[in-house]
Structure 1
Amino acid sequence: MHPAIHLIGLPTDQNSSFERGSALGPAAIRQALWSDRGNLSTESGLEIGQDIGLFDAGDLPLTNADCTADDAMIAQAVADAMAKNCVPFALGGDHAVTFPLIAAIAAKYGPLNILHFDAHPDLYDDFEGNPRSHASPFARIMEAGHARRLVQVGIRTLNRHCREQADRFGVEIIPLADFTPTDVPALEGPLYISIDLDGIDPSEAPGVSHPEPGGLTLREVLAVLRRQTAQIVGVDIVELNPHRDVNDVTAILAAKLVRELASFSHVNKTHNSRNS
């Protein structure tokens, strides 16, 4: 079976603020994904390896010190995956990796529609003097013109500066008060999905460096994803910090997201191919 999903680990937290540890995230997610504790089935009934091809490319040998060199390595890995007609699924790492990931995919497809789950909007012009901070990737993405539309879900830390940035860039932030998954629009393709695990409530995902109460449930995230029918051209799942995890529950949750997103990607690609 030709692999449809190309899994790429990005072990870097060089642009993290407050606390490091997310460089260990890819290994923790991969261990949970392939563990005999569970299996490779998805809620759609499709199974990884049987119905959905998945190639695990392992972790890139990132420097975790030289951002320019690491960005180039990430971009090349994404280009290699797309050259094989695969969808790059990136495991972070801190959220700064989303900028080179989206830049590489937009180089092929043009501006993307982006669905972003997070407690934080990550729109700082720079954070603590670092314009490549994990608090800034979407400012860089919007400045570069890589997004046709950016919809953010789960945001509950919107300060004045980031609110101004959201207005400046035309970012659509879905309010969490009285939230229901139907509040989130079904986006057109090409669609990129970015999931910062702190977008999910810390009662379900404690293993993050910046936990914020009052977040989404995993079931709400899956309901939002299920509403998306466009072609998925890239995915990242970032900001797992194993140092802060409890009984690996956040890593197990992240592995669940890998499986379900692989299923959605497969179904959406099949649907869009039949209707093209």
Structure 2
Amino acid sequence: MSVAIIGLPYDASSSFLRGAARAPQHIRDALHSPSGNPWSESLRDVLDPQWVRDVGDLVLAPDASARVEIERGISALLDLPARPLALGGDHSVTYPVLRAVNQRYSRPAILHIDAHADLYDAFEGDRYSHACPFARIMEEGLASRLVQVGIRTLTPHQRAQADRFGVEVIDMRAWAAGVRPVIDEPVYISVDLDGLDPAYAPGVSHWEPGGLTTREVLTMIQQCAGHVVGADVVELNPHRDESGRTAMVAAKIVKELVCAMYPASS
């Protein structure tokens, strides 16, 4: 089974700033940049068309119809069959992606790397905001476990939501104390780039100091023992990434995700 990279250029569910809809091409540009090479740290050429393909971007309207199109597009990849690696876009795209993934892989665990829990029941009156996808995912029973790493913005409401859904929250205080995720079942990995400290990834809409390093995120992906059935990298905002630094970080994460989804034994 191959890995399929797909762009989800959607940011109509963003709060504060728009711009993430422009991210997929910026990540691709970094991935193909002659300043680096396509090899992962485990000596895989992630641009080798024999086992990874880029199927381009979905055409998405800035309204609720995008969720339908995302679910349909990811379902089509799974039917190839291919494991989807989605380039967002804002974090709201993860919900329809998981609806599609569940059609082939029932209730995978989720490893969610983020500064924010994204568990609001509704945010600014929108139940499908990028601040809400994991509330929708857990309500629908689309995951057997939700393990969140890097969290540092919990509100009382989101803490109550985490308790309600049995979310395993490894906030940055717990991370600093040495707590690490242990996942050995089928898993979907969702990486919000603001999970990293803004010193490493400033090109995001919501700067939240005190986060993960690039190396910590890469190691987490590399050491994930579960069978990775899909993944996404979301919330790059090119308007805030004038140097292209965050796009390069995103591309590096994509390389390691591809290898996690297509291990050397495959």
Is the counterpart of residue 232 in structure 1 residue 228 in structure 2? yes
Question: Normalised by the size of structure 1, how large is the TM-score?
Answer: 0.92
Matched to 1:160, the amino acid is: P
Q: Comparing both structures, which one devotes a greater share of its residues to helix? A: 1
CA-to-aligned-CA distance 1:113-138 (integer Å, 9 cap, x gap): 00000000000000010000000000
| Alignment of structure 1 residues 1-276 onto 2, 5 Å | 4-50=2-48, 53-64=51-62, 66-67=63-64, 69-177=65-173, 179=175, 183-267=179-263, 270=266
Aligned residues: 266
The question of whether the paired residues in 1 share the 8 Å contact of 2:75 and 2:103 is answered with no
CA-to-aligned-CA distance 1:139-165 (integer Å, 9 cap, x gap): 000000001000000000011010000
Q: 1:13 to 1:49 in 2, by over 3 A?
A: closer
Match of 1:183, SS state, is coil
Runs (4+) off by over 3 Å: 49-52
Match of 2:44, SS state, is coil
Query: How many Å apart are 1:226 and its aligned residue?
Result: 1.8
CA distance in 1, matches of 2:55, 2:72: 13
CA-to-aligned-CA distance 1:37-74 (integer Å, 9 cap, x gap): 2110011112124497211111111012x21x211211
Query: How many Å apart are 1:85 and its aligned residue?
Result: 2.2
Matched to 1:125, the amino acid is: D
Match of 1:164, SS state, is helix
- Identity %, equivalent residues: 50
Identify the residue that residue 273 of structure 1 maps to in structure 2.
none
Matched to 2:4, the amino acid is: H
Query: How many Å apart are 1:175 and its aligned residue?
Result: 2.9
CA distance in 2, matches of 1:191, 1:268: 18
The question of whether the paired residues in 2 share the 8 Å contact of 1:10 and 1:60 is answered with yes
The question of whether the paired residues in 2 share the 8 Å contact of 1:52 and 1:262 is answered with no
The question of whether the paired residues in 1 share the 8 Å contact of 2:230 and 2:261 is answered with no
What are the ranges of 5 or more consecutive residues in structure 1 without an aligned counterpart?
A: 271-276
Query: How many Å apart are 1:265 and its aligned residue?
Result: 1.5
Match of 1:262, SS state, is helix
Match of 2:194, SS state, is helix
